[in-house]
Amino acid sequence: MSARASQENVVVVTGASSGIGRQLAYQLADQGAWLALAARSREQLGEVALECRRRGGRALALPTDVAEQPQCRDLIERTVAEYGRIDTLINNAGSALHGRFSDLTDLALFEKVVRIDFFGGVYCTHYALSHLMQSRGRVIAVCSLKGKFPSANAEAYVASKHAMTGFFESLRMELAGSGVSVTVIFPAWVSTGMTSRVLRPDGRPLGEISALEKGAMPVQTCARLIVDAAASRKREVVMTLKGRAGLWLRLVAPETTDRILRKETE
């Protein structure tokens, strides 16, 4: 958000210990935001909170697994107990599972990704919504271009991002006239290192950064675009020209788009 919009703005950021979430926390702290930072890693989260305080923001580190509904409720309750309100909720936490659906032997892995990527945002939004309505606040959903396109593999990540898109776009319509804005963000590849942590069908992390992530959008740039979109209460942001062109191509030549997407997984 702009410096004026962020000053003393109470912002909940999930997935704040690394990647996009960490950069969001830093940029918001630079602007004087009051932050409630959520992630599973207590140690990393504490380091991010410390850096946010050094940068001039207030920061509360709240270790949270967003896949667990009671922990999402506690995250919101503890934020309100500390700051008295919530102005902005940034649903950013995410995980991924890479591989062919037909190779998956344990559907618990599929469910785990959906619970983090989709239900985590649903849970946090549910418990924060009454507070956001009081503050006429902002809901930000950090989705993915994979929430707009199919994938060559029937991945849990793609399924959850499509669900996320449908839920938050519908929530926007439900909240029309309430003063609460809903912004859905569709990044393409971002240099966060996340692909090395993506799970294989056997549950092991991939262990290496995908070639598609190398040379991708810098995470600082992605975070800045999200902060700016939140400040102006944009409806949605499709971050890359290639992504916007792809959406047009899918309308006029869907089979061509499918061939391109299949080639990306080869």
Residue (of 55, 53, 64) closest to 16 by Cα position: 64
The residues, any chain, with a CB within 8 Å of residue 98's CB and separated by 6 or more, are 153, 155, 157, 195, 198, 199, 200, 206
DSSP class of residue 12? E
Known active-site residue 157: yes
- Maximum alpha-carbon separation in the chain: 52
Separation between Cα atoms, residue 97 and residue 80, nearest integer Å: 34
Token pair belonging to 120: 């985590």
Q: Per the residue annotation, which of 26, 123, 127, 157 is the catalytic one?
A: 157
Separation between Cα atoms, residue 151 and residue 148, nearest integer Å: 10
- Residue identified by tokens 């998956």 is 104
Q: Catalytic positions, please?
A: 157
